[in-house]
Structure 1
Amino acid sequence: MYPVTRHSSRLALRELTTDDVDAVHAIYGDPEVTEHLSFTPRTRDEAGGIVARGIAAATAIPRQEYVLAVVTQGDDGDLGRRREWLSHPPVAPALRRRVGPVLLRSGSGSR
């Protein structure tokens, strides 16, 4: 399915765009966010690669990976990313989520 867009009263999920590199870098480049993850903070170039791979995955046929931006309604600021992988035959998708530092500190990223 492309493009993915989902909205609630508070949040929206949408496809990544090249304009999201700085927002992804703000998450992946923050030592506090990555402190308990399996990798060290990423550079802006590495964040650009993450975005580029997400964009490429969005148009793959069949689509096996969903890398989506999570934004607050009425706001262009990314809160985080959501990633799902689908396998064939279908099994429960593996799901990973990264949240931005502001949500992480407020406790909202735990829901």
Structure 2
Amino acid sequence: MTYPIRILGNQVVLHEFSLEDVDDVLAIIGDDKVTTWLSFDSRNRDQAVAMIEGALERAQQEPRTEFYFGVTKRDGDRVIGFARIGLSGVQAGKLGYAIAATEWGRSYATDAARALVTYAFKEIGLHRITAAIGSDNAASIAVVQQLGFAARACCATTSSPTERGATACCSPFSPTSGAGDGWTARSLRQQNQAHREPGRRAECSDA
């Protein structure tokens, strides 16, 4: 996997960030409509610059443990969102994504997430991908359901206040809210193996 990476979806393109993306990124992470569903509060310009600089630095580390991309439309160059998989455990990763509120309802999140999940299974060699989503985030739940993710019970709980989305499988979106759902996808090879082994349930379908 040679830097920079570029991934084509049906509607969108995933590409490495550049500092030229800062205004587009700020329009996303500075919007309360978007960050309501993310693991952090709305950020300012300096924080947007720091986010991009951090992503650029981590993208060139060896071995690479984070795949964090800007999302553009196939016929445009403006960043309308981002998608990320951070490696976690053995051949496992955690998926996250966001799309600008002005672009909601056009399936860009689904296309970006599908392209990244496919890349992660085929090119990175992951066997398992999870996404932590609050139980009230119906739009994001619909995205992962379309990708074949299956809901599973939380594997961890916390009795103390935590940052939103701070746990791996539980997704408390505020210190007082109930935990969200964990969603899991496994590679097609693992799904086929699960179907062959009696008593073992596959956690995702071929989406």
TM-score normalised to structure 1 length: 0.88
Any conservation in 1 of the 2:71–2:79 contact (CA below 8 Å)? Answer: yes
Shift of 1:101: 1.2
The reply to whether residue 64 of structure 1 matches residue 65 of structure 2 is: yes
The equivalent of 2:5 in structure 1 is 4
Following superposition of structure 1 onto structure 2, how do residues 81-96 of structure 1 map, counting pairs within 5 Å?
81-87=82-88, 89-91=90-92, 93-96=93-96
Shift of 1:36: 3.2
Q: 1:61 to 1:22 in 2, by over 3 A?
A: same
Higher relative contact order (CA 8 A, sep 6+): 1
Give me the identity figure in percent. 31
Residues 11-44 of structure 1 show CA distances to partners (whole Å, capped at 9, x for unaligned) of 1111001111111110000111112333221001
Q: 1:87 to 1:34 in 2, by over 3 A?
A: closer
Hey, what's the Cα distance between the residues in 2 that align with 1:76 and 1:56? Answer: 22
Hey, what's the Cα distance between the residues in 1 that align with 2:54 and 2:77? Answer: 21
TM-score normalised to structure 2 length: 0.49
Consecutive unaligned residues of structure 1, counting only runs of 5 or more, are: none
Backbone CA RMSD of aligned residues: 1.6
Consecutive unaligned residues of structure 2, counting only runs of 5 or more, are: 110-138, 144-207
Shift of 1:88: 5.1
Residues 38-81 of structure 1 show CA distances to partners (whole Å, capped at 9, x for unaligned) of 32210011011110011001100000001101110120111101
